[in-house]
A = this chain, B = another copy of it.
């Protein structure tokens, strides 16, 4: 019972790389915080995790990123992004073929994604590296100039790039959304790339965490009517939900 729980904790920390105590409490609602703390202590003794402020991180995670630079994960709206990623992961079918952007939410999705046979196009190199750990996925990186802030690539040559590629689904996220300005991001080439992607894809799933609503970024790449499914978190305001639904967007 105890042993089992500790195993579960280790596993979940390995998978997510990092867990706050708060998150662990949500995962294990029937034990107290103190018990979880004691479990973490033991896992630290076993050398499987490193306890940090507010939680713990996986030793494996640190080792994994050893080749590259270990980049601190952004903690902004972590929970929301995770929830969205988990929802999105459930929508991916074995054998499918889709485009995934290079954002933070996509990073979470990469981790949550089961190791199924599927083919993924991405413009995020961190996403690509994460996906590379899976055995059954086929990954294609869209080349182009690297934007250091989000580790994504974008290139005006995307059009030629996609000429011989096919994917029926695009899963992307925006950095800002308003009903008037639609979905926007802060890079023109990225915006262009996404437009190309949308032309190719038959279906578009938009991952949008609620903190992005009401914000505007310089480059709009899509409007409500361009997407088929909106994946968001619990805090999505009702009026937005109905707005999307009125436009025939499935809100999850």
Contacts and interface: CB of A to CB of B under 8 A. Distances in A.
B66 A129 contact: no
Given A67-B126, A125-B125, A132 B144 contact: no
Given A139-B146, A141-B146, A145-B140, A47 B72 contact: yes
Interface in A60-108: 62-72, 74, 107
A142 B128 CA distance: 13
Interface stretch (A7-15, A153-161, A206-214, A216-224): A153-161
A143 B146 contact: no
B45 A72 contact: yes
A26 interface: no
Interface stretch (A48-56, A197-205, A230-238): A48-56
Interface residues of A, number: 49
Interface in A16-70: 44-48, 50-53, 57, 59, 62-70
B140 A140 contact: no
A55 to B, nearest CB: 11
Which 5 pairs from chain A and chain B are nearest by CB? Answer: A143-B143, A47-B70, A139-B146, A63-B67, A68-B129
